[in-house]
Chains A and B, each alone.
Chain A
Amino acid sequence: MNQMKDTWKLGGHEFTSRFILGSGKYSLELIRACVENAGAQIVTMALRRANEGGLANILDYIPKNVTMLPNTSGARNAEEAIRIAHLSREISGSDFIKIEIMRDTKYLLPDNQETIRAVDALAKEGFVVMPYMYPDLNCARDMRDAGAACIMPLGAPIGTNKGLATKEFIKILIREIDLPIIVDAGIGRPSQACEAMEMGAAAVMANTAIATAGNIQVMAEAFKKAIEAGRLAYRSGLGRVREDRADASSPLTGFLRDDEGEA
Chain B
Amino acid sequence: MSGKNHINESILSETILEDQKENRIDHMKYLPGMEQIKSDVMDQVVDAMNRYDYTKYTAADVRRALAAEDRTPEDFAALLSPAALPYLEEMAQAAKIETRKHFGNSVCMFTPLYIANYCENYCIYCGFNCHNKIHRAQLNTEEIEEEMAAIAKSGLQEILILTGESRNRSTVQYIGEACKIARKYFRVIGIEVYPMNSDEYAYLHECGADYVTVFQETYNSDKYETLHLAGHKRIFPYRINAQERALMGGMRGVGFAALLGLDDFRKDAFATGMHAYLLQRKYPRAEIAFSCPRLRPIINNDRINPMDVHERQLLQVVCAYRLFMPFSSITVSTRECPRVRDNLVNIAVTKISAGSKTGVGSHSDEIADGDKGDEQFIISDDRDVEEVYHALQNLGLQPVMSDYIYV
Which residues on the B side are within 8 Å of A24 (C-beta)?
A: 104
CB proximity of B278 to chain A, nearest CB, Å: 13
Residues from 76 to 113 in A contacting B, C-beta threshold 8 Å: 76, 79-80, 83-84, 87, 103-106, 108
Which residues on the B side are within 8 Å of A211 (C-beta)?
A: 104-105
Measured CA separation A28–B393 after assembly (Å)? 12
Measured CA separation A129–B25 after assembly (Å)? 59
Pair A106/B284 contact, Cβ less than 8 Å: yes
Measured CA separation A51–B103 after assembly (Å)? 18
Measured CA separation A28–B398 after assembly (Å)? 8
Indicate the member of A104, A105, A108, A211 with the most B CB atoms within 10 Å.
Answer: A105
Pair A80/B101 contact, Cβ less than 8 Å: no
Secondary structure type dominating chain B contacts: loop
Pair A103/B284 contact, Cβ less than 8 Å: yes
Select from chain A the residue with minimum beta-carbon distance to B397: A27
CB proximity of B184 to chain A, nearest CB, Å: 14
Contact of B398 among A51, A56, A79 (CB under 8 A): A56
Which residues on the A side are within 8 Å of B155 (C-beta)?
A: 54-55
Which residues on the B side are within 8 Å of A79 (C-beta)?
A: 407
Report the count of interface residues on A (CB-CB < 8 A): 32
In the complex, whether B402 has a CB less than 8 A from a CB of chain A is yes
In the complex, whether A47 has a CB less than 8 A from a CB of chain B is yes
Which residues on the A side are within 8 Å of B194 (C-beta)?
A: none
In the complex, whether B290 has a CB less than 8 A from a CB of chain A is no
Measured CA separation A65–B242 after assembly (Å)? 49
Select from chain B the residue with minimum beta-carbon distance to A111: B285
Which residues on the B side are within 8 Å of A54 (C-beta)?
A: 155, 157, 401-402
Pair A105/B288 contact, Cβ less than 8 Å: yes
Pair B284/A84 contact, Cβ less than 8 Å: no
In the complex, whether A208 has a CB less than 8 A from a CB of chain B is yes
In the complex, whether A124 has a CB less than 8 A from a CB of chain B is no
Indicate the member of B187, B284, B286, B399 with the most A CB atoms within 10 Å.
Answer: B284
Measured CA separation A79–B407 after assembly (Å)? 9
Pair A55/B407 contact, Cβ less than 8 Å: no
Which residues on the A side are within 8 Å of B187 (C-beta)?
A: 51
Measured CA separation A253–B104 after assembly (Å)? 58
Contact of B402 among A48, A87, A212 (CB under 8 A): A48
Measured CA separation A26–B363 after assembly (Å)? 32
Contact of B389 among A25, A27, A50, A55 (CB under 8 A): A55
In the complex, whether A49 has a CB less than 8 A from a CB of chain B is yes
Q: What are 28 inter-chain pairs, A to B, with CB distance below 8 A?
A: A25-B104, A26-B106, A26-B398, A27-B105, A27-B396, A48-B402, A48-B404, A48-B405, A50-B402, A51-B187, A55-B157, A55-B389, A55-B401, A56-B400, A56-B401, A74-B404, A83-B407, A84-B407, A103-B284, A103-B285, A104-B285, A105-B284, A105-B327, A106-B284, A159-B102, A160-B101, A208-B104, A211-B105
Residues of A within 8 A of B (CB): 24-28, 46-51, 54-56, 74-76, 79-80, 83-84, 87, 103-106, 108, 159-160, 208, 211-212
Q: Lowest 5 A-B CB distances belong to which pairs?
A: A25-B104, A55-B155, A80-B407, A48-B405, A103-B285
Beyond A25-B104, A48-B403, A105-B287, list 7 extra A-B contacts (CB 8 Å). Answer: A25-B103, A25-B105, A27-B398, A49-B402, A54-B402, A106-B284, A208-B101
Residues of B within 8 A of A (CB): 100-106, 155, 157, 187, 280, 284-288, 325, 327, 389, 396, 398-405, 407
